[in-house]
Amino acid sequence: MEALLPDWAPNLHPLIIHFPIVLWAVAVLADLTSLFSGKSWLKHMAVALYTLGALSALAAYFSGEQAIDGVSVPMQGELTAGKHSDWGHYTLYFFGGYTLIRLLFLWRKWDKKKWVAIALFILGTSGLGIVAKTADLGGKLVYKYGVGIKK
């Protein structure tokens, strides 16, 4: 696998991690647009994006678990690495749980009511906060502590 990685990448994690972030953000945007336009295809697109986001979050999580074993974390960054791992768990659980809820609500057509759609949108938007916290800690590992940087 390492032979397939570019020279600058210490592992697969930095190549995968941006997919769930972008998919989740675009899904929230599609949800918001569907609230105002009333177009059901946008709601379906949002659910598909949430599903792809959850699957890519799973890949990001496992690549992160593998990555931490192959990089050097300075002692000052150990606490941040632990927090990043914890928030990675929270993000994965939220992505997975929220996606299952959205699939169930779409299948049962419970999301046809405007107030339910608004509540689901608010919950999905709160997921962006969880993603942002996880990403912030990951960025801190790289840019403050130099984790995964080849010198």
Where are the chain's structural domains?
12-143
Q: If one looks up domain 12-143 in CATH, what number appears? A: 1.20.120
For the cut 70, the answer to whether the pLDDT of residue 151 exceeds it is no
| Exposure letters 32-65 (e unless 16+ CB within 10 A, then b) | eebbeeeeeebbebbbbbbbbbbbbbeebbebbe
**What is the pLDDT, as a whole number, of residue 148?**
84
What single DSSP character describes residue 15?
A: H
State how far the Cα of 86 lies from the Cα of 135, in Å rounded to an integer: 12
Q: Tell me the pLDDT tens digit for each residue of 78-112.
A: 999 999 999 999 999 999 999 999 999 999 999 99
